[in-house]
Amino acid sequence: MSTVTNEKTNRGGFKLSDYQGLPSTLCKGCGHDNITRNIVQAYYELGLEPHNVVKTSGIGCSSKTPAYFVHRGYGLNSVHGRMPSVSVGAKLANHHLQVIGVSGDGDTASIGMGQFCHLVRRNVDMVYVVENNGVYGLTKGQFSATSERGAKSKIGEVNEFTDIDLCALTITLGGTFVARGFSNDAKQMLALIKASVAHRGTAMLDVISPCVTFNNHEGSTKSIHYVMEHDIKLNELGFVSPWEQPTAEIKPGEAVEIPLPDGSHLIVRGVNNNHDPHDKFAALQLLEESRKKGEILTGLIYIAEKERDLNTAMRVNNPKTMAQMDEADCRPPKEAFEKYLNGFR
Amino acid sequence: MSTVTNEKTNRGGFKLSDYQGLPSTLCKGCGHDNITRNIVQAYYELGLEPHNVVKTSGIGCSSKTPAYFVHRGYGLNSVHGRMPSVSVGAKLANHHLQVIGVSGDGDTASIGMGQFCHLVRRNVDMVYVVENNGVYGLTKGQFSATSERGAKSKIGEVNEFTDIDLCALTITLGGTFVARGFSNDAKQMLALIKASVAHRGTAMLDVISPCVTFNNHEGSTKSIHYVMEHDIKLNELGFVSPWEQPTAEIKPGEAVEIPLPDGSHLIVRGVNNNHDPHDKFAALQLLEESRKKGEILTGLIYIAEKERDLNTAMRVNNPKTMAQMDEADCRPPKEAFEKYLNGFR
Amino acid sequence: MNPPPETLTASQPSTPLQLTVNDLSIEAATVNGTGSQSANNILAKSLFRMGIPMAAKNLFPSNIQGLPTWFTIRASKHGYTARKKELDWLIGMNPTTWEKDVANLRPGAVVMWNSNELSDAPVKARGDLIAYPIPMNDCIKGVAADAKLKKMLVNMVYVGAVTHLLGIEEEVVLKVIADQFKSKQKAVEINVACLRAGMEYAKASLPKKDPYRVERMDANGNKILIEGNTIAALGCLMGGVTVMGWYPITPSSSLAEALIALAKKHRVDAANHTIRFADVQCEDELASIGLVLGAGWAGARSMTTTAGPGISLMSEFVGLGYYAELPGVIFDVQRVGPSTGLPTRTAQGDVLAAAFCSHGDTEHLVLHPCSPEECYEFARISFDYAERYQTPVFVLLDLDLGMNFWMCEPPSYTTEAFDRGKVLSPAKLDELKAAGKKWGRYLDMDGDGIPWRPLPGNPHPDAAYFTRGSGHDEYARYSEDPEVYRRNLDRLRKKIEGSRTTLPQPVLETVPGAKVGILAYGSTNNAMREARDQLAAAGVKSDYLRIRATPLATAAVEKFFKEHERVYIVEQNRDGQMELMIRQVLTTPGAVDKIRPVRHYTGFPIDARTISDGVLAGEGKR
Amino acid sequence: MNPPPETLTASQPSTPLQLTVNDLSIEAATVNGTGSQSANNILAKSLFRMGIPMAAKNLFPSNIQGLPTWFTIRASKHGYTARKKELDWLIGMNPTTWEKDVANLRPGAVVMWNSNELSDAPVKARGDLIAYPIPMNDCIKGVAADAKLKKMLVNMVYVGAVTHLLGIEEEVVLKVIADQFKSKQKAVEINVACLRAGMEYAKASLPKKDPYRVERMDANGNKILIEGNTIAALGCLMGGVTVMGWYPITPSSSLAEALIALAKKHRVDAANHTIRFADVQCEDELASIGLVLGAGWAGARSMTTTAGPGISLMSEFVGLGYYAELPGVIFDVQRVGPSTGLPTRTAQGDVLAAAFCSHGDTEHLVLHPCSPEECYEFARISFDYAERYQTPVFVLLDLDLGMNFWMCEPPSYTTEAFDRGKVLSPAKLDELKAAGKKWGRYLDMDGDGIPWRPLPGNPHPDAAYFTRGSGHDEYARYSEDPEVYRRNLDRLRKKIEGSRTTLPQPVLETVPGAKVGILAYGSTNNAMREARDQLAAAGVKSDYLRIRATPLATAAVEKFFKEHERVYIVEQNRDGQMELMIRQVLTTPGAVDKIRPVRHYTGFPIDARTISDGVLAGEGKR
Ligand SMILES: Cc1ncc(C[n+]2csc(CCOP(=O)(O)OP(=O)(O)O)c2C)c(N)n1
Ligand SMILES: Cc1ncc(C[n+]2csc(CCOP(=O)(O)OP(=O)(O)O)c2C)c(N)n1
Ligand code: SF4
Ligand code: SF4
Ligand SMILES: [Mg+2]
Ligand SMILES: [Mg+2]
């Protein structure tokens, strides 16, 4: 928590420090800390009410990070791999909450695989960040399921298994917002985080986030150096809040402008391509091709901004939340109660 | 167990009844029983040694079926959704075993999602049959995760969630053999089962298998009637055992002939297309397109017959199995033992 | 107290027949998936509406269609409602079990069967049975064309025959049929036709040979006939549950499904079409419990329904609930374990699994309802306990209680306010501040071990906090400090210990001069009155302490041990799970030496005779 | 017995100094991820090689880099190896804990610190400490350029200073360094340079003010210095494990990793390059245990490694293992629960979770090793138990035992044959047949409740069977029959009961005339000799019963209770988990009244004083 005085405030009247958290206890240089910084910045710029921010996570170095941002929000650090389910519970209990879940590649793609797939399928309205470093950081460097076949571990072992591409997986499962970022690319990440928040549904951000302690060596396919060399930007992103003016006019064919439910706009400009992120099939193709080439494709890969989210599908969106329901909301009138019982005579 | 005398025997000297099991206790007309019949027939024709057949399953009507075939094989009916892990264990313990796992859509796509994904990723050498009826049969008809959005349940509820397409999912996860069958189409299934056995790696058979009791009504997208109407055959399949002669000469371009590791051949003849089942990307595209059209694509969708299976990758393929290892196999010589301890002085 | 009637009828010679009014158990042996359930319900409900105390049980297989099922109705003017060990009247409909069903009958019992399908031979071979063969298929020949429908309707023939032979009032049966099929006039007609066919056949061809009769009584008053799961669902509705995550599993699914149906009717907001109840059929039990705890954390009253295998899977999360102090209610409708066990049979096998769920030092609040009345009540108040103690609360039903039909006093409409426990509002936080008290999420401010919790969204600048399953101090800050850890664990124990006196207290029933104590809980209660009557008849006076929750009300249990020479602990499990919990707390010297276990674990509900025999054996009277 | 030395040094005034030889505890307070582990190991190993009894503990955070870590070495000529409650010698290296570290010191303790990084103030403020400030950064200025390397090497300075001040033999340290870095000559040189810098500085600038000295002894004989996990892995190798499924979790990962390393060396088939060991790092614990049971079922000796959260997740599967009778070994290296708890601290918190793992009536075999010797031995024979009893076997280590360094008699090379239990070969099946005996997979043919099992692949036409977690009869056929179910459950109990006399039996240590009994298990043993010496010095004679497994050896426990007036049960958990298991079996009247609990649950390993104080309090002497 910084204690800067005379700090500037955002539109919501909150200071940057309201979005910060405790000092990080991660290793110096850990990619996860960069992501934390960008979340702080994005949330500040979006002007979210910090006390309505709910931060969920599983277990791992990545899952510790919710303690390092938005200290005025509420954190629920659950058990390993189960961030999705507690997030769904919280969102159903109070759909006004702005839920962000942070997970790791071990947390999501190994033990949490089942919950992850089903969260995506339900399109729960939340931001889902996977801080993907290809290893289990907190347990000291074992391969995770997103580690590429042939990758070398710090102690020299070679990974024998094909990696799971979380972006392709999410699209296949019917996900509605799929993007990949890199912890060292703040600009891209900032736009992605903002768009994730504005999106109504599950926004899956697969952020490659090097583990400087256990997976930053020669032979690693998730080292800072390797990712820098292999990062291919799919698109340039511009996020325009409802109260902002787009900086430049968009010529047709040059970019896709996507209006998001909260009134903001996302401007997607293909880099050497004209990929429309609404095209599911093209998205899968791009992923598969870049994969074959050994590239790491980053940017907004796929979006379906008009799909219903879970609360809407279930009609759990009364302004009065489940958490606020009282006796009158919950109990049928006496007559209805008696009538029901009468059916058992 | 039939008690027919003078029964014909197959090349292995076994009778058809050696591949049969106890009488089924499933509902009359259940799709699962058709699948059982085809497994019996295929295994008989392949001449497998029944005592080397291992049948694993989870929990559900589908998971009961291993009791109904190959009574001279060994069955392990485990817990709900965990058939994959016990199968891996058995296969590592004894790689001579011919493992077939039977699961349901609930068992695989809900509770078993995580284990399923990771089994596929490891390419464990086994046949994996999902008897897919879109509902939880044994618990009386709740929707499963393979039930299409908009499908109606027997009690009139409408499914609000997108279905999980197990074929697309398996391909995305790096699966090496992906096929879809229909319990009423014996011919196709017979070829698919045989090819699955011959394949070295995880052969995933997603068999649409109507639940006549809970999901065979109007409005269901997995009723016998509905599937019959929407079944689109991707290809005609011919399976040729090592000791058989292909029935017809294949002209180039007309069909793909795939040699399998045990010496058998699979002949794949596209129906109104020339889909090469080695083309991962085309396979995904076909699935996505048929899905959009509301069709149910059946046949061999994808195969990568040259990938290493788990035992090979791990070099766990000594002719003497793990189950047979004795003291001499397991213990280093005394000198090595003492030397090792000496390192701690 | 009345003399134990089972002894009378059981030892009764087959001739001369002594008239037995309103006291018998009938069992229909059928095949599942053939629609016999509807006919059986009609029979059961008719007896109930005649004002005769009764209960009905469905003994079904873990299978959908084609396997044996038995439906048993016990009518008892004495109000005994447990399973009776021996049957008075068998209705044979299932060829596969027919021989065994007949062989199992006590001497002189009544047997009625479909002679079109089952052979007379087993009955003839015995010779001692009162036989009522009925060609049921023939009886309904003209009634329906469809073969499947016929298979269902044939069951109405025995309902008709029994109606005639026992003297059930025809108008009552007709009304029950009309109510059952409601607006479906066609169904009513066809069922009545089959009923009549059975009645006619009995009138014409079955001269009364058995001693049983039923007569209108007025014992049922205002009661309803209901399954424990169904009324528990109503308790949940009234208790204010708003979020449910569940995964189907026998025998708990019907609780969830009943609640969903109730919510569809009573929780829809007419104004904006929203629903004041969120239910997710989850992908598995790990997800259900996660959803429940996430929702409870965020302030909703939340619950899940499951059975043993689900409890095992939920273990890790339940530990988080205990340690991070998250409310949530877990309904465990117990079935027979271990493992998959007998999924459609009953047991009290999860007593320990629930109480000590998860690794490390934990102890959870567990409610043990014994009747539909308590199913309603405990379901309703479980949400209060969960929020008051900020911890997972288990409600343990069992298959017998949850899925069988029991008579029940209708619950009176609840007007009690929810007890939401120490929810920290912005105002309360200001108030504390003004009083100079520093609040901490895990700080014991009131000496009861229970801290105050703000709900996410609370905008007070001091309210936000971070919840975790790892070590934390009074202010929810991460800590590995050994003393902080111990302090927190001691506070948690204090908090849970406090529940010993606030959870539903044991119920004591005494008779003057009893030296024998019997301790039981849950559905076993249904056999207790009968068992104690049997004991009294055999000269053993007994007092009865019924446990309703753990952590145990230590004082009451100690007192019970002090006041009795021997204490029989009756359980429906093999290993004496409640006994172990009692051994844990008993400190009176010599108390544990008084323990005598009576255990039943076959998957069938316990019967009175098993209890009284157990006690009599212990008393040296057998 | 020797007088309790802790009391001596603890109450010793800071002056005049009394020479204390081979008896002190040193602690280096560092930051994790800075490489201090290497320096600390060198120091510890040097003391060990001087023949002085010692043990070393690493108290580390659940974090990778930048948080406080403490490494403690206890050297004791008496052979006491448990944690000492009070420290004799602090080495301060971590600015964040410096003040607190100093404040916590007992009066007159020694403190050495890096004066380039830490302020003198806290030491000055106290005034009573023996102070050795060292400008460690300055000492190694010329040695290394790289900043990160420097941070590591600075720790060698204190090793040097301590070496000089305590009188550790220089050649010993040099040899240890050489061994540690083996072929890396450069590393050896640079470390030696830093060591020398520390020695020089001490020689030049730190006149000896403290009373401690070490001298060569010959107490360690042939012993090795090893972590429990490492030697347990060797036990597994020798026990014949061939399949492992595991999921990383502290503090168990190093067991799995040590085994993998061993297998890479000793299980590779030179002829065909295959490996005689299959290990899968699974996607989670549900998969690991599934893999283990699948492999065990198919005939391999299989195992997994985990900690509390994993045990919770494995619960459902463990129930299957019990009920379907599948062998497999589960190593639970216990850490502090509940929930995530303190993942890098020690506890005995899973005693109950392991013993009664899963819903329904279950009881599992649990081994409680207390030392590296037993870690080896129990690991090795656990596979025999698993196969003999055809059931999951738990081996419960804890973090203290598993991850800390202990002296240990080297195990002698095992030549014992595997006990594969009742594996039914085709020949044996023929033999039974010839003898007219019908075999059934779950038939008790030998009266011990243990059935015969064929392995999949067995070609005998009668051998195949179907394994399930649902009800089954003696011939492995599906059954819902109540009597079949009960019979099976009774046999299972009989089988497990049989293990009471075959599992490792309790170890009894007595002194003449003791009326007080102490009962403990697992790593607590390491503090017991010292605690009993302390008690003896305070006039309390005590006998000691060490539990080594559950189900308990009932007779031995009963006897111990009979022969003592009070029995102190020492546990490293809050709720008395072993006590509960004892209460479950004690039948001697009055026995339970003798129970006196001594419980320690801070996450730190228990120390002798906590035990002796607990007993003295109970004896009214405190
Ligand atoms: C049930 C359970 N199993 C194992 C662990 C041990 N564990 C803690 S973090 C972790 C892996 C974390 O990897 P990842 O999610 O990739 O996070 P990272 O540390 O790399 O950011 C594991 C296996 C645990 N906490 N809980
Ligand atoms: C842990 C656990 N949860 C729930 C159940 C209850 N259950 C039994 S079968 C089943 C679903 C089966 O569905 P599916 O796999 O599709 O098989 P089907 O019966 O449709 O063939 C469920 C939920 C269980 N046995 N175990
Ligand atoms: S171990 Fe890796 S993932 Fe964990 S904090 Fe350090 S750098 Fe980050
Ligand atoms: S319920 Fe459905 S899936 Fe189960 S046996 Fe019957 S038809 Fe088959
Ligand atoms: Mg990671
Ligand atoms: Mg299904």
The tens digit of pLDDT for each residue in C147-195 reads 888 999 999 999 999 999 999 999 999 999 999 998 899 999 999 999 9
Element (H, E) at D345: strand D342-346
Query: Which residue owns the Cα nearest ligand 3 atom 6?
Result: A27
Class of domain B16-313: alpha beta
Q: Quick check: CB of B213 below 6 Å from ligand 4?
A: yes
Query: Which residue owns the Cα nearest ligand 1 atom 11?
Result: A136
Tokens representing A102 are 């942070």
Kindly list the distances between the CA atom of residue A2 and the CA atoms of A45, A68, A206, A261, in Å, as whole numbers in the listed order. 17, 12, 29, 33
Residues from chain A that touch C294, judged by Cβ atoms under 8 A, are: 56, 76, 78, 85-90, 93
pLDDT in tens, D254-297: 999 999 999 999 999 988 899 999 999 999 999 999 999 999 99
Chain D interface includes C100 (CB < 8 A): no
pLDDT in tens, A41-55: 999 999 999 999 999
Closest by CA to B340, choosing from C504, D230, A329, D498, is: D230
E-state strands within C373-430 = 392-398, 405-408
Which of B25, B28, B30, B215 should be mutated for ligand 4, with most atoms under 8 A from CB?
A: B30
Closest by CA to D541, choosing from D562, D569, D565, D522, is: D565
Chain A interface includes D602 (CB < 8 A): no
Backbone φ, ψ for residue B34 (5° rounding)? -65, -40
Task: Output the pLDDT for position C16.
Answer: 55
DSSP of C197-262: HHHHHHHHH----S-EE-------TT-EEEEHHHHHHHHHHHHT--EEEE---TTTHHHHHHHHHH
Task: Output the pLDDT for position D16.
Answer: 55
Residues from chain B that touch A162, judged by Cβ atoms under 8 A, are: 121, 173-174
Provide CB contacts within 8 A for D219, sequence distance 6+: D51, D52, D53, D77, D79
The stretch D315-341 carries a mean pLDDT of 98
A56 Cα: distance to centroid of ligand 2 (angstroms): 30
Q: What is the rounded CA–CA span in Å between residue A208 and residue A228?
A: 10
Asked if A314 and C275 come within 8 Å (Cβ–Cβ), the reply is: yes
Q: Quick check: CB of A135 below 6 Å from ligand 1?
A: yes
Asked if D65 and A213 come within 8 Å (Cβ–Cβ), the reply is: yes
**Is pLDDT at C327 greater than 80 in this prediction?**
yes
Chain B interface includes C248 (CB < 8 A): yes
| CB-nearest partner of A77 from C267, C417, C467 | C467
Residue D168 carries which DSSP code? -
Instruction: Indicate which atom in ligand 3 lies nearest the CA of residue A32.
Output: 8
SS (H, E, C) A246-260: CCCCCCCCCCEEEEC
What is the distance, to the nearest Å, from the Cα of residue A134 to the centroid of all Cα atoms in its chain? 17
pLDDT in tens, C56-83: 999 999 999 989 999 999 999 999 999 9
**Is pLDDT at D9 greater than 60 in this prediction?**
no
E-state strands within D434-562 = 466-468, 507-509, 516-521, 542-547, 549-550
Q: Poorest-confidence range of C370-379, D6-15, D478-487?
A: D6-15
Complex-level ipTM: 0.97
**Is pLDDT at D145 greater than 90 in this prediction?**
no
How many other C-beta atoms can be found within 10 angstroms of the C-beta atom of residue D579? Answer: 22
What mean pLDDT value characterizes chain D?
A: 95
> What b/e string do you get for D538-564 counting C-beta neighbours within 10 Å, with b at 16 or more?
bebebbbbbbbbbbbbbebbbebbeeb
Which of B24, B25, B28, B32 should be mutated for ligand 4, with most atoms under 8 A from CB?
A: B32
Chain D interface includes C66 (CB < 8 A): no
Q: Quick check: CB of A34 below 6 Å from ligand 3?
A: no
The stretch A186-191 carries a mean pLDDT of 98
Half-sphere exposure of residue C303: CA atoms within 13 angstroms, side-chain side: 33
pLDDT in tens, D368-404: 999 999 999 999 999 999 999 999 999 999 999 999 9
The strand pairing partners of C3, in sequence order, are: none
Sign of the dihedral defined by the CA atoms of residues B104, B108, B109, B110, in that order: positive
**Is pLDDT at D5 greater than 50 in this prediction?**
no
Asked if A137 and D247 come within 8 Å (Cβ–Cβ), the reply is: no
Is there a contact between B69 and B99 (Cβ–Cβ < 8 Å)?
Answer: no
The stretch C17-44 carries a mean pLDDT of 93
User: Across the beta sheet with D507-509, what order do the strands follow?
Assistant: D507-509, D542-547, D516-521, D566-571, D595-599
Closest by CA to D390, choosing from D473, D307, D451, is: D451
Task: Output the pLDDT for position D473.
Answer: 98
B72 Cα: distance to centroid of ligand 4 (angstroms): 25
**Is pLDDT at A253 greater than 80 in this prediction?**
no
B275 Cα: distance to centroid of ligand 6 (angstroms): 30
Peptide bond into D338 cis (omega under 30): yes
Interface test with B, best of C250, C283, C313 (most B CBs within 10 A): C283
B183 Cα: distance to centroid of ligand 4 (angstroms): 13
Chain A interface includes C360 (CB < 8 A): no
pLDDT band at C6, cuts 50/70/90? very low
The stretch C584-608 carries a mean pLDDT of 97
Provide CB contacts within 8 A for B48, sequence distance 6+: B12, B98, B197
Residue C338 carries which DSSP code? S
pLDDT band at C523, cuts 50/70/90? very high
B135 Cα: distance to centroid of ligand 6 (angstroms): 4
Q: Quick check: CB of A26 below 6 Å from ligand 3?
A: yes
Q: In chain A, what's the furthest Cα-to-Cα distance?
A: 76
How many other C-beta atoms can be found within 10 angstroms of the C-beta atom of residue D171? Answer: 10
Instruction: Indicate which atom in ligand 2 lies nearest the CA of residue B138.
Output: 19
Query: Which residue owns the Cα nearest ligand 4 atom 1?
Result: B137
Provide CB contacts within 8 A for D305, sequence distance 6+: D244, D246, D252, D253, D255, D256, D331, D333
Q: What is the rounded CA–CA span in Å between residue D209 and residue C545?
A: 70
The stretch A59-74 carries a mean pLDDT of 98
Asked if D67 and A26 come within 8 Å (Cβ–Cβ), the reply is: no
Q: What is the rounded CA–CA span in Å between residue B235 and residue A24?
A: 57
Q: Any alpha helices (H) in C586-621, and if so which ranges?
A: 608-618
A94 Cα: distance to centroid of ligand 3 (angstroms): 33
The residue whose two tokens read 């308990």 is D552
Q: Quick check: CB of B32 below 6 Å from ligand 4?
A: yes
Asked if D466 and B67 come within 8 Å (Cβ–Cβ), the reply is: yes
List the domains of chain D with CATH numbers: 20-213 (3.40.920.10), 226-408 (3.40.50.970), 423-501 (no CATH), 507-618 (3.40.50.920)
Instruction: Give percent of chain C with pLDDT exceeding 90.
Output: 93
Q: Are strands C89-92 and C110-114 parallel, antiparallel or unpaired?
A: parallel
Restricting to D residues 203-242, those with a Cβ less than 8 Å away from any Cβ of A are none
Is there a contact between B204 and B120 (Cβ–Cβ < 8 Å)?
Answer: yes
Min Cα distance C305 → chain D (Å) is: 15
pLDDT in tens, D203-213: 999 999 999 99
Q: What is the rounded CA–CA span in Å between residue D284 and residue B112?
A: 12
Q: Which residue of D has its CA nearest to C324?
A: D339
Closest by CA to D304, choosing from D315, D319, D320, D293, is: D293
Among all bound ligands, the one having the nearest atom to the CA of A28 is 3
Q: Quick check: CB of A32 below 6 Å from ligand 3?
A: yes
Task: Output the pLDDT for position C385.
Answer: 98
Interface test with D, best of C69, C306, C361, C488 (most D CBs within 10 A): C361
Q: Which residues surround ligand 6, an ion (CB under 5 A)?
A: B 104-106, 133
pLDDT in tens, D19-63: 999 999 999 999 988 889 999 999 999 999 999 999 999 999 999
How many other C-beta atoms can be found within 10 angstroms of the C-beta atom of residue A335? Answer: 9
User: Across the beta sheet with B235-240, what order do the strands follow?
Assistant: B235-240, B265-270, B256-259
Q: What is the rounded CA–CA span in Å between residue B81 and residue B160?
A: 23
pLDDT band at C146, cuts 50/70/90? confident
- pLDDT lower than 70: segments of chain B: 1-5, 247-249, 252
Identity of residue A345: R
Residues from chain B that touch C247, judged by Cβ atoms under 8 A, are: 110-111
Min Cα distance B148 → chain A (Å) is: 12
Asked if B165 and A172 come within 8 Å (Cβ–Cβ), the reply is: yes
Q: Which residue of C has its CA nearest to B143?
A: C281
pLDDT band at A217, cuts 50/70/90? very high
Task: Output the pLDDT for position A251.
Answer: 75
Q: What is the rounded CA–CA span in Å between residue D267 and residue D248?
A: 22
Closest by CA to B233, choosing from B175, B284, B290, B193, is: B290
Kindly list the distances between the CA atom of residue B275 and the CA atoms of B269, B302, C124, C174, D472, in Å, as whole numbers in the listed order. 8, 10, 69, 65, 48
| CB-nearest partner of A78 from C240, C413, C469 | C469
Is there a contact between C340 and D329 (Cβ–Cβ < 8 Å)?
Answer: no
pLDDT band at A139, cuts 50/70/90? very high
pTM equals 0.97
Tokens representing B284 are 């995904």
Q: State the Rg of chain B over Cα.
A: 21
Q: Quick check: CB of A61 below 6 Å from ligand 1?
A: yes
B170 Cα: distance to centroid of ligand 3 (angstroms): 31
C228 Cα: distance to centroid of ligand 4 (angstroms): 27
Sign of the dihedral defined by the CA atoms of residues A288, A290, A296, A300, in that order: negative
pLDDT in tens, D458-475: 999 999 999 999 999 999
Element (H, E) at C281: strand C278-281
Instruction: Indicate which atom in ligand 2 lies nearest the CA of residue C310.
Output: 1
Q: What is the rounded CA–CA span in Å between residue A63 and residue A56?
A: 8
What's the full length of chain B, in residues?
Answer: 345
**Is pLDDT at D2 greater than 70 in this prediction?**
no
Query: Which residue owns the Cα nearest ligand 2 atom 7?
Result: C249
Residues from chain D that touch A80, judged by Cβ atoms under 8 A, are: 284, 309
Identity of residue A6: N
Instruction: Indicate which atom in ligand 3 lies nearest the CA of residue A140.
Output: 1
Residue C67: burial class (beta carbons within 10 Å; 0-12, 13-18, 19+):
middle
